[in-house]
Amino acid sequence: MLIDNPFTTAVGDMPPRFAGRQTEKDLFSMNLKYLTQGRPRNLAFIGDYGTGKTVLLKEFSNMAKDVFCITFPCYQFENRAQFFNFLLDTIDRKINVSKSKKILNSFRDNVKSLSIFQVIGVELKEDDPAFDPMNRMIGTFESVYRAVDQPIVLFFDDFQYYLKTIRQSEILKQAFTVLTQELEYDIMLTVCGNLTTFEGVQELHEPIARFFEPRSIEPLSRDEIDDAINTPLKSLGCRFTDEAIERTRELSQGRAYYVQLCAHYGLNEACSRQITPEDVSAGLRSVLSRLAIERFDNIYNGVSPDQRTVLQVIARSDIPLLHKEIINESESYGITDSSAKMSISRLRESDILAKVGNKYQIREKLFDEYVRSKSFLA
């Protein structure tokens, strides 16, 4: 049967059932209480692709109804000036949405002195001799705080892009130390980023990671996957069997986005209202076709031919392989010993391969299935 996706409405939108993440919600709730008591603390949630980081921030925003929230969806900024202009535009849109002329006018009056507000026709330039990132940041959020006159939560999604652009990572820590400790403003940062977010940005004495309470976003458990899938299906009179839930867990590895894809395409393969593991497996072709366009083609085509051969060797095996087994098998396809070793090392550095004990496997089960579907080894 072919039906609309009952598990989500659009990319990044809240699913009909927000399952799991109770630990993360409890932590945010506690810090939200600290904020309203004048003791702001900052949170960082780090996770794999597809673990639901964006949706988690939206859930946090829903929880923070009694404070002023602004979400900054970061991207790959060309320079610091582009970041600050983006920051100001985002704040302006948020305040406009609040439909409070008093707040909007107050913010614009406060920020005029910075001479970088695009709405009044002036855009910040990277080579501006008056450009001072830390003071710009302090001034910007001081203006917001004065305008809204209530506790503020700032959400940064894809925070790794901010850190890549503002290479002096101490700027954020120093700016918010001034805002929260010297000026005593009730402002809290909550950010989400990928697993590389804090790599290579640590300062000698006070790394940016210490500025936050960092937490890893864990995969959804089997029961949480059951809840995320079967609760929205109740209105349709459908249900994934226990075995189908387990198959979905195996393929998705608990990544929320992958769970949603496996469930959606498995549901479309079903011939009855009881969705089986065979239905989930049958939907795998559609899952891989979609992920090929979104992500997997770029990963696969971005590695060398020798590395692709090594991936093929590993994907053809039903079990993880020893380092020596990968090298020996790769040599049978014309890959030298040294090249195979280098390929394994590079694939691990790229986080494509994972080492389990003394054996290697492709880290993402769905990418493993994708590589297997492209097999060119005789």
Give me the average pLDDT of each 10-residue run along the chain (378 residues): 58 59 90 92 91 89 90 85 83 73 58 44 48 79 86 93 72 86 92 82 53 87 92 89 97 94 93 94 96 96 96 94 96 94 95 94 97 78
156 and 192 fall within a common domain: yes
Res 209: pLDDT: 64
106 and 137 fall within a common domain: yes
CATH of the domain at 234: 1.10.8
Q: How far apart are CA 135 and CA 116, in angstroms?
A: 12
Q: How many domains does the chain have?
A: 3
CATH of the domain at 62: 3.40.50.300
Res 214: pLDDT: 85
Instruction: Identify the domain boundary among 258, 291, 324.
Output: 291
Question: Within a domain: residue 201?
Answer: yes
Question: Within a domain: residue 227?
Answer: yes
pTM: 0.82
Res 108: pLDDT: 58
CATH of the domain at 350: 1.10.10.10
Res 326: pLDDT: 96
Res 171: pLDDT: 78
Res 83: pLDDT: 83
Question: Within a domain: residue 241?
Answer: yes
Structural domain span for residue 325 = 303-373
Task: Give strand ranges (E) for 109-208.
Answer: 152-157, 187-193
114 and 54 fall within a common domain: yes
Q: How far apart are CA 88 and CA 99, in angstroms?
A: 17
* 130 CB-near residues (< 8 Å, 6+ apart): 115
Q: How far apart are CA 81 and CA 65, in angstroms?
A: 31
* 112 CB-near residues (< 8 Å, 6+ apart): 120
The residue written with tokens 């001479």 in the block is: 115
How buried is residue 357: exposed, middle or buried, by Cβ count under 10 Å (0-12/13-18/19+)?
A: exposed
Sign of the Cα pseudo-torsion (56, 62, 66, 70, in order):
positive
Q: How far apart are CA 339 and CA 321, in angstroms?
A: 17
209 and 120 fall within a common domain: yes
The residue written with tokens 């060398």 in the block is: 304
Res 103: pLDDT: 59
CA angle, 347 then 349 then 354, to 5°: 65
Report the chain's C-alpha Rg in angstroms. Answer: 24
Question: Within a domain: residue 160?
Answer: yes
- Residue 361 neighbours by CB distance under 10 Å: 17
Res 163: pLDDT: 81
Q: How far apart are CA 197 and CA 164, in angstroms?
A: 9
Which contacts (CB < 8 Å, 24+ apart) does range 233-239 have?
233/6, 233/267, 235/6, 236/3, 236/6, 236/273, 237/273, 238/267, 238/270, 238/273, 238/274, 238/275, 239/273, 239/274, 239/275
Residues 54-90, buried b or exposed e (16+ Cβ, 10 A)? bbbbbbbbeebeebbbbbbebeebeebbbbbbbbbee
> What is the per-residue DSSP string for 81-121?
HHHHHHHHHHHHHHHHHTT-HHHHHHHHHHHGGGT--GGGT
253 and 314 fall within a common domain: no
Res 136: pLDDT: 81
| DSSP H or E stretch at residue 161 | helix 159-165
211 and 237 fall within a common domain: no
- Residue 5 neighbours by CB distance under 10 Å: 16
**Residue 153, SS3?**
strand
**Residue 321, SS3?**
strand
Asked if 87 contacts 140 with a C-beta cutoff of 8 angstroms, the reply is yes
What pairing do the DSSP bridges indicate for beta strands 353-356 and 359-362?
antiparallel
